[in-house]
Amino acid sequence: MKRIAYFQFCPVLADPTANRAIVAGTLEGVEADLIVLPELAFTGYSMTDRKTASALAEDPANSPSLELLTGLCRSGDYHIVAGFTERAGDKLYNSAVLVGPGGLVGMYRKIHLFGFESELFDPGPEPPAVYDIGGLNVGMMVCFDWFFPETARLLALSGTDVIAHPSNLVLDWCQKSMVTRCLENNLFAVTANRYGSEARGGKELTFTGGSQITAPRGKILVSAGSAADALEIIEIDPDTARDKNVTAVNHLLDDRKPKLYKGLM
Amino acid sequence: MKRIAYFQFCPVLADPTANRAIVAGTLEGVEADLIVLPELAFTGYSMTDRKTASALAEDPANSPSLELLTGLCRSGDYHIVAGFTERAGDKLYNSAVLVGPGGLVGMYRKIHLFGFESELFDPGPEPPAVYDIGGLNVGMMVCFDWFFPETARLLALSGTDVIAHPSNLVLDWCQKSMVTRCLENNLFAVTANRYGSEARGGKELTFTGGSQITAPRGKILVSAGSAADALEIIEIDPDTARDKNVTAVNHLLDDRKPKLYKGLM
C-alpha cells in the first residue's frame, strides 16, 4: 500500500520565498509516500512577461526550491511532485519536478501550454516519462495536458500507476474528465490544484481549487473545496492500477488497434 | 440547423421481422435529418454462437433491413444510422450502416469488440470514416468503441460533426464519459442505446437505456430513461462542432503534438 496526497494552497505571485515557507510549514512531519503540489507552485501563475518569468525561474542545478523539497523528502522519507518554473539556458519551461530524499528524480516539461503561457514558456520537447519510486510508478502531466487524452494514454502505456498532476485550473471541466481519464486508463491521478485569484493585463483569473484524487474505474476518492488550503492523504494499492482488464476478455491496452490509429499521427 | 435524433427501443432477440416492424412503426412520419438506432438493432445482442449470428446476419447487397431503412429515408427525407449484423463472405461484423434516401451511404465495422462479441464477430479491419450528408459530417462508432479515446479522436480529426453511436450498453460508465469525448473533441454524439434483458449461457444481460445526445463542450442535451422506448429529436448547429478553439489561443486539434505521441503506436 502507498499513501498519495495533494497539498492545495494559494501561491503568492512572484514571491518564491513566501511560497517555500508555505510548503515547508505544511509538509514537515507529513506521513506519505507521494505528495503533489500545484503548477508553478513557487512563483504563482500570472507572470507579466517572459522576462519576469525568467527572473523568477530556477535552474534545477542551482535551485533553492529543489533544495527545500529535497530536505523535506529526506526528513519525511517521501517524494514530492511540484509545479516548477524552470530555466534551462535560454529556454523557460512550465515543468513538474519529482523529488525524493536523494534530490531530483525526474522532470516533465508541459507539452500543451494554455492561454498566455505560450508568451512565457517554451513547449516541452519530450513526452512524459515514468519513474519508479520504491514500487510506485509515477508519471507527471501539468494542468491543461489533461484536456488531451493522448497525454494520460502515453503515461498509461508507459506503466504509470499514479499520474501526478500539478494544476492551476481556471475552468471547471477537469475534475469530471479525470474520472474518464482514470477509467479509460485504469490508474490513479492526483490533481493538485491551487485556489485564489491573480490579475494580469487588467484581467482577473480565479483558480478553482477542487483538488482531487481519482482511482482506477474512475472513482473519486477525495476532493477539496474551492478556496482553502487542503492536504489530503489517501492509501492506495498500486496493483489495482496494473490490472488493465475491463472484462474477462477485454484489456484496455491490449485491445487497442494501433494499426488503425494512424490518423492520430 | 440540423435535427438529430435517437430511437431507443428493445429489440427482440433473433427476430429481425419483429424489429423491422418496431422501427417502421416509429420512424414513419418523423421529421429529422439523422436518426440513430441501437447496436445490432435487427437481431438483438445475445446470439448463441457464430453459426446463429451468421444465419441472422444480412449481406448489405441483399438486405431486407437496408431496404426498409432506405424506404423510410426516402419517404421521410432523412438519414438513419443503425447497428447492423453484417455478413460479408465468411466474415461477420458488428457494423453500423448509414442509410439515406438513395440507399446505403457508408458503413463502419466495430473495431473494439466487447465480451463475447469476439465469439460471434470479426473485428473491423478499417478505421471509421466520415460522411457528408447534406452539410452534416457524420462519423460512426459502435458501443464499446467509446471506451477507447482513440476512436472519437480519429473521427474528430477526420472532420466529424456528429458521432452516431449505436450501443447496447450494459455498464453505466459510457454516458458520463461521452461528456468528456464531446468536450475533448468538441463535437456532437448521439448515443442510441437499447433497454431490456436477454439471457445467454445461463447469464442475464440487462441493457441500461439512457440514450443521450451530447454537445460540444460536453453539454448533455437530452437523455432517455432506462427502460422505455424513447424517440428524441434535437436541433443543432453543426458549425458549433467546427470551431475547435478552446481559448483565443488554444485549438484542441492544432495544439496536439503528434511528434511526441509516438508511444501511442
pLDDT in tens, A120-162: 999 999 999 999 999 999 999 999 999 999 999 999 999 999 9
Model confidence over B192-229: pLDDT tens digits? 999 999 999 899 999 999 999 999 999 999 999 999 99
- B230-259 residue pLDDT tens: 999 999 999 999 999 999 999 999 999 999
Judged by a CB distance cut-off of 8 A, whether residue B173 touches chain A is: yes
- B224 closest CA partner among B233, B232, B215, B234: B232
Nearest residue of A to residue B111, measured between CA atoms: A257
Q: Annotated catalytic, B143?
A: yes
pLDDT of residue A20: 98
In percent, how much of chain A has pLDDT > 70? 100
Q: What residue spans of chain A are helical by DSSP H?
A: 16-27, 50-56, 64-76, 117-120, 149-157, 174-185
Q: Shortest CB distance from A184 goes to which of B118, B149, B257?
A: B149
User: How much is the pLDDT for B100?
Assistant: 98
Other beta carbons within 10 angstroms of residue A165's beta carbon come to: 35
CA distances from B72 to A243, B64, B68, B76, B133 (A): 46, 12, 6, 6, 16
- Whether chain A has a CB inside 8 Å of the CB on B254: the answer is no
Chain B CA closest to residue A219: B173
- In sequence order, the 6+-apart residues with CB closer than 8 A to the CB of B211 are B6, B8, B167, B190, B191, B192, B193, B223, B224, B230, B232
* The pLDDT of residue B204: 95
Span A163-218, pLDDT tens digits: 999 999 999 899 999 999 999 999 999 999 999 999 998 999 999 999 999 999 99
Best residue in B180, B182, B244 to probe A by mutation, most A CBs within 10 Å?
B180
Angle at B135 between CA B66 and CA B221, to 5 degrees: 85
pLDDT of residue A192: 98
Quick one: closest CA in B to A144, which residue? B250
Sorted by sequence, the CB contacts under 8 Å of residue B151 that are 6+ apart come out as: B111, B112, B128, B141, B145
Q: Write the DSSP string, A49-109.
A: SHHHHHHH-BBTTB-HHHHHHHHHHHHHT-EEEEEEEEEETTEEEEEEEEEETTEEEEEEE
- Residue A219 annotated as catalytic: no
pLDDT confidence of residue B57: 98
- Reported as a single tens digit per residue, the pLDDT across A24-46 is 999 999 999 999 999 999 999 99
Whether B147 and A246 lie within 8 Å, measured CB to CB: yes
Q: Among B144, B176, B265, whose Cβ lies nearest the Cβ of A258?
A: B265
Residues in A 210-249 with any Cβ partner in B closer than 8 A: 218, 246-249
The enclosing H or E element of B22 equals helix B16-27
Per-residue pLDDT at B109: 98
Residue A12's φ and ψ, nearest 5 degrees, are -85, 125
Quickly state the pLDDT bin for A77 (edges 50, 70, 90).
very high
Interface touch A249/B115, C-beta < 8 Å: yes
Q: Quote the pTM value.
A: 0.98
3-state secondary structure of B21: helix
Name the minimum distance, in Å, from the CA of A32 to any CA of chain B: 31
Residues B92, B86: Cα–Cα separation, whole Å: 6
Return the pLDDT at A253.
98
Say whether A263 and B154 touch across the interface (CB within 8 A).
yes
Q: What is the pLDDT of residue B35?
A: 99
CB distance A167 to A205 below 8 Å: no
Task: For residue B118, give the C-alpha cell.
Answer: 469476439
Query: Pick from A150, A173, A179: which is nearest to B264 by CB?
Result: A150
Confidence (pLDDT) at A210: 98
List domains and CATH numbers for chain A. 2-264 (3.60.110.10)
Quick: pLDDT tens for B57-82: 999 999 999 999 999 999 999 999 99
Stretch 72-101 of chain A: residues touching chain B, C-beta under 8 Å: none
Q: Determine the residue of chain A that is closest to B184 in CA distance.
A: A147
State how far the Cα of A210 lies from the Cα of A175, in Å rounded to an integer: 8
| A71-to-A22, A40, A86 alpha-carbon distances in Å | 15, 19, 19
Q: What is the pLDDT of residue B87?
A: 98
What is the Rg, in whole angstroms, of the alpha carbon atoms belonging to chain A?
17
DSSP character at residue A13: T
User: Across residues A92-107, what is the average pLDDT?
Assistant: 98
B110 among known catalytic residues: yes
Of B118, B246, B256, the CB nearest to A249: B118
Among A200-204, B9-13, B45-49, B61-65, name the one with the lowest average pLDDT: A200-204
Residue A132: predicted pLDDT: 98
Res B19: pLDDT:
98
